[in-house]
């Protein structure tokens, strides 16, 4: 909270998508089994994001909950996987002086009509929050909820079973509301009233279809607001990355492995960062699909100069487009024919 009071806080998320692209995780279930198979890859990814400007090292416990592990038949690995994820993130956070965050998320079994399911949801949150608290996290992120009620349950678990602040962000699908029908503004008000330190939106929507919602959220609450879009070019007609269809592939659904042609440029992420910050949104990041280059662009847009900025583009020495006097005319005069 002290860091937020002093200026924006950048939080890299979306590790699961990046690890899938790198070949360490399977699209579909999206469970980061990589934690046990290649912990060194997860550690390096955290370091890459910190180097690019993330102020936070968030433990990769997204989709490391009991329900997800049940689906892939690895429930017995639940606790070790959570503890490994927390240990890796803690090591990186303490070494890099970034904030160390725990993470809980959508359970996919929340159903307001099913009391038995609600008990299971509660148990999922309580055990994951307890492991995060044990690991000594600085705060806990609760993210990607489609149900406002589920977000409130996650917040309650954090409040009851840890002593750290909660950042609660939810996901807005095509209709732009929570599944109960609550508006984003109303949901944020409820979360603030229930004790969340930061409230907002993450995942599912790209910058273009998340930005208009932020205005309403910022007006609705007094607490700090978070925004972590996916880095994809979502549109009014297809406002979420799960609704994007690709005309080059017979109009088929692009999610999750055909999203490449919709990827935002670094410039678009930078524009989003500036626009969101101008609205008063100070907890910023990028979710599923984000690479370190996006986080660096966001950091630079907010006036930062992270370690990776040493290698930010300088076209003055490019062989054809360069302006440096050492670049030969034999190449620069060919420019228009490239």
Q: Which residues of the shown chain bind Zn ion in the complex (CB under 5 A)?
A: 203, 287-288
Rounded to the nearest whole angstrom, what is the least distance from the CB of residue 334 to Zn ion in the complex?
A: 43
CB of residue 318 vs Zn ion: minimum separation in angstroms?
34
CA 253 to chain centre: 22
Q: How far is the CB of 32 from Zn ion (least distance, A)?
A: 13
Query: What does the alpha-carbon distance between residue 58 and residue 114 come to, in Å, rounded to a whole number?
Result: 31
Which CB sits closer to Zn ion, 199 or 203? 203
Number of neighbouring beta carbons within 10 Å of residue 108: 14
Q: How far is the CB of 171 from Zn ion (least distance, A)?
A: 8
Least separation, in Å, of the C-beta of 294 and Zn ion? 13
| Minimum separation from the CB atom of position 329 to Zn ion (A) | 48
Q: Cβ closer to Zn ion: 58 or 189?
A: 58
Pairing type for strands 166-170 and 198-202 reads parallel
> CA–CA separation, 85 vs 89, rounded Å?
6
In the complex with Zn ion, the residue whose CB is nearer, 14 or 149, is 14
Check: CB of residue 99 under 8 Å from CB of residue 55: yes
Shortest CA distance to 190 belongs to which of 238, 150, 245, 242?
Answer: 150
Q: How far is CA 57 from the centre of its chain?
A: 11
Most distant CA pair in the chain: distance in Å?
Answer: 74
Q: How many CA atoms lie within 13 A of 147 on its CB side?
A: 16
Nearer to Zn ion, 83 or 145 (CB): 145
Q: Which is nearer to Zn ion, 11 or 121 (CB)?
A: 11
| 231 and 265 Cβ atoms separated by less than 8 Å | no
Q: Is residue 256 reached through a cis peptide bond, with omega within 30 degrees of 0 on the bond before it? A: yes
Nearer to Zn ion, 137 or 210 (CB): 210
């Amino acid at each position: 909270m002290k860091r937020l009071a002093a200026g924006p806080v950048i939080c890299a998320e979306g590790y699961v998508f990046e690890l899938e692209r790198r070949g360490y995780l399977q699209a579909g279930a999206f469970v980061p089994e990589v934690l046990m198979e290649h912990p060194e890859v997860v550690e390096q990814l955290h370091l890459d994001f910190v180097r690019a400007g993330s102020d936070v090292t968030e433990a990769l416990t997204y989709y490391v909950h009991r329900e997800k592990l049940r689906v892939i038949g690895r429930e017995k690995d639940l606790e070790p996987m959570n503890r490994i994820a927390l240990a890796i993130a803690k090591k990186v956070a303490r070494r890099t002086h970034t904030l160390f965050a725990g993470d809980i998320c959508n359970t996919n079994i929340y159903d307001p009509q099913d009391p038995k399911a609600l008990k299971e949801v509660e148990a999922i949150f309580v055990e994951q929050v307890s492991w995060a608290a044990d690991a000594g996290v600085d705060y806990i992120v609760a993210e990607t909820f489609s149900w406002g009620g589920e977000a409130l349950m996650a917040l309650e678990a954090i409040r009851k079973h840890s002593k750290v602040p909660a950042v609660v962000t939810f996901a807005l699908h095509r209709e732009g509301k929570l599944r109960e029908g609550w508006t984003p503004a109303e949901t944020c008000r409820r979360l603030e009233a229930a004790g969340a330190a930061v409230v907002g939106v993450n995942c599912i929507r790209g910058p273009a279809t998340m930005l208009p919602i932020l205005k309403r959220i910022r007006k609705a609450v007094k607490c700090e607001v978070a925004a972590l879009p996916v880095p994809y070019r979502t549109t009014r007609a297809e406002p979420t990355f799960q609704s994007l269809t690709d005309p080059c592939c017979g109009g088929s659904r692009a999610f999750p492995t055909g999203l490449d042609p919709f990827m935002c440029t670094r410039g678009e992420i930078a524009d989003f960062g500036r626009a969101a910050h101008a609205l008063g949104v100070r907890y910023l990041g990028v979710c599923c699909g984000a690479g370190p280059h996006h986080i660096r662009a966001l950091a630079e847009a907010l006036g930062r100069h992270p370690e990776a900025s040493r290698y930010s583009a300088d076209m003055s020495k490019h062989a054809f487009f360069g302006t440096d006097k050492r670049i030969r005319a034999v190449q620069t005069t060919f420019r228009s024919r490239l």
